């Protein structure tokens, strides 16, 4: 899959012979109703597996995927939260500092889509200017005709909550890698552009360390 990067980001990375652009870390959090398929989406991407049996997430789970993007190391932290009401408080304490909020719903359960604006609002309260994705799962369960209607509604909703819409299936793997690679390229771009911005500003320097490095952006 071909990833598109901002030309300034490409230049900065191409000139990074001395490794001055260090490790970038991105925190992504998945939120959404019970059993919409959050854990399956992560397991499909991180471990290439799919399990038909439902095992509820207790509180939160966590995975790290390591990439090299344009020769710069990039770690994607993926936080899987529980959809069950009784774990909501625990899960919410892990939203803090997220760079990406992935609001998940089940394409075969329209109710789960109607709850996504609330999930988004709760998660974004503690996130830091995050990219927002609206992800419809279980695409394999809906017919093409039904999908066309749901897609129309989902795009409208995505527009309202400032999100990018993706439809995926963790069962077949459709769009899963494409979705995560898109997420990685967007957040990598943003991290590098932030760093370039910070470098331009003399007040942003503490001794010889850049604030962005100090903050691990
Ligand atoms: N057919 C189909 N089933 C799926 C898909 N993704 C998940 N499922 C099923 O949906 C059920 C719930 O999936 P999970 O990933 O555990 O859901 P969750 O959102 O993490 O649930 P909580 O941990 O309770 O919040 C499981 O039985 C999965 O096998 C999919 O793409 N297609």
How high is the mean pLDDT of the chain?
88
54 Cβ below 6 A of ligand 1: yes
- Domain with residue 123: its CATH number is 3.40.50.300
Is 184 within a domain? Answer: yes
Q: Quote the ligand 1 centre to 42 CA distance (angstroms).
A: 10
Q: Give pLDDT tens digits for 175-190.
A: 999 999 999 999 999 9
Q: Give pLDDT tens digits for 89-122.
A: 888 888 888 999 999 999 999 999 999 999 999 9
Q: Quote the ligand 1 centre to 98 CA distance (angstroms).
A: 23
How crowded is the C-beta side of 194, counted as CA atoms within 13 Å? Answer: 21
Q: Which residue has the tokens 């503490």?
A: 206
Q: Give pLDDT tens digits for 26-47.
A: 999 999 999 999 999 999 999 9
Is 147 within a domain? Answer: yes
pLDDT at 2: 66
Please tell me the residue having the least CA distance from ligand 1 atom 28.
52
Is 14 within a domain? Answer: yes
Is 15 within a domain? Answer: yes
35 Cβ below 6 A of ligand 1: yes
Range of the domain at 127: 7-188
Q: Six-digit token pair at 160? A: 């309202």
Count of domains observed in the chain: 1
Q: Quote the ligand 1 centre to 54 CA distance (angstroms).
A: 6
């Amino acid at each position: 899959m071909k990833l598109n990067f901002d030309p300034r980001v490409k230049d900065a990375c191409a000139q990074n012979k001395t490794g001055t652009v260090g490790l970038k870390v991105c925190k992504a959090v998945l939120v959404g109703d019970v059993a919409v398929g959050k854990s399956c989406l992560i397991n499909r991407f991180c471990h290439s597996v799919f399990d038909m049996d439902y095992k509820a997430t207790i509180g939160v789970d966590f995975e790290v995927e390591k990439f090299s993007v344009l020769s710069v190391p990039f770690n994607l932290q993926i936080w899987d939260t529980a959809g069950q009401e009784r774990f909501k408080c625990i899960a919410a304490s892990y939203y803090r500092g997220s760079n990406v909020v992935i609001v998940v719903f089940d394409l075969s359960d329209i109710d789960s889509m109607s709850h996504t604006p609330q999930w988004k609002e709760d998660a974004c309260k503690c996130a830091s200017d995050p990219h927002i994705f609206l992800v419809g799962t279980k695409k394999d369960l809906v017919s093409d005709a039904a999908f066309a209607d749901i897609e129309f509604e989902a795009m409208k909703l995505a527009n309202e909550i400032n999100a990018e819409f993706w439809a995926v299936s963790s069962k077949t793997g459709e769009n899963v890698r494409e979705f995560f690679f898109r997420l990685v390229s967007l957040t990598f771009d943003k991290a590098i552009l932030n760093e370039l911005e910070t470098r331009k500003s003399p007040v942003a320097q503490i001794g010889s360390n850049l604030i962005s490095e100090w903050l691990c952006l």
